Homo-oligomer: A and B are copies of this chain.
Amino acid sequence: MTRPHSGTAVATVDDPAPGCSALRDCLHCSVRHLAVCSALSPDEVQALERVTVSQALPLGATLARAGEPRQHVYTLTGGALRLVRTLADGRRQISGFVLPGDYLGLTGSDHHRHDIEAIADSRVCRVALPQMKDLRARYPHLERKLLQRACQALDDAADAALALARLQPAEKLADFLLRLAAREARLGDPGLRVTLPMGRSDIADHLGLTMETVSRTFTKLRQQGLIALPHLNTVEILDEAGLRDLCGA
């Protein structure tokens, strides 16, 4: 069971005295993902440790709600989150899934624009906004890295928009699976076995479909021999080339 229980979201829980391993994770993420520390002195590392807080998010917990004022930026160090937008009448869209290494804070707004919910037991590394501002002022390298990430995110957003606007359900799903596989591959995994931390309706709300259509499309891809579904949340990519020219690339 990797899915959150209905609507009973547990409140977020801080980690006021982070253990050394959590702190090391945070620094690690800062180093690896934001490349701040490439040439930091020991006291600079100390300064970083002071502004960095690890926070646990059990499955189903909500990190933020749309409309709330933003207080921190985050880097996901483990687990998975979803970014949810809901219309007045309940229509839902999932702007994206946040996986380990992803940075949360690239927005021009001072309020959250999404509900941010944990779809697996997760852990984030967080920095308060004013302190992040200081860091960015102090390390131009960080600013540059953030801009790089933002540009990459913009490219991804354009790809997603094309998929939403013009791909058919099977193409959307193939595209989604390949994208997920590529992301897991970048984190070191082989790439043929993709784990889906999210449920069918999350996929549907991400691709602009219904749960039923997603389910039917999974069966269709399976019957065509393009994928296998050993478990509900595990997809094995049998014919990557086949998937790839399904989504017209």
A contacts, CB < 8 Å to B: 85, 87-89, 91-93, 95, 106-109, 113-114, 136, 140, 143-144, 146-148, 150-155, 157-158, 160-162, 164-166, 205, 207-208, 248
Contact = CB atoms under 8 A, between A and B. Distances in A.
B108 A155 contact: yes
A151 B151 contact: no
Given A140-B140, A154-B153, A148 B113 contact: no
B165 A208 contact: yes
A161 B166 contact: no
Contact of A95 (B140, B144, B151, B161): B161
Number of this chain's copies in the assembly equals 2
Given A93-B166, A109-B155, A136-B144, 14 more contacts: A87-B166, A88-B248, A95-B161, A95-B162, A106-B151, A107-B154, A140-B140, A143-B143, A153-B154, A154-B154, A157-B157, A161-B161, A161-B164, A165-B207
Name A's interface SS.
helix
Contacts of A136: 144
Given A113-B155, A150-B154, A155-B108, A93 B248 contact: no
A164 B95 CA distance: 11
Which of A158, A161, A166, A205 gathers the greatest number of chain B CB atoms within 10 Å? Answer: A161
Contacts of A95: 158, 161-162
Contacts of A88: 248
A218 B237 CA distance: 44
Nearest to A166: B91
24 contacts: A85-B158, A87-B248, A89-B248, A91-B166, A91-B248, A93-B166, A95-B158, A106-B154, A107-B151, A108-B155, A140-B143, A143-B147, A150-B150, A150-B151, A154-B154, A154-B157, A161-B161, A161-B164, A164-B164, A164-B208, A165-B205, A165-B207, A165-B208, A166-B208
B113 A166 contact: no
A67 to B, nearest CB: 13
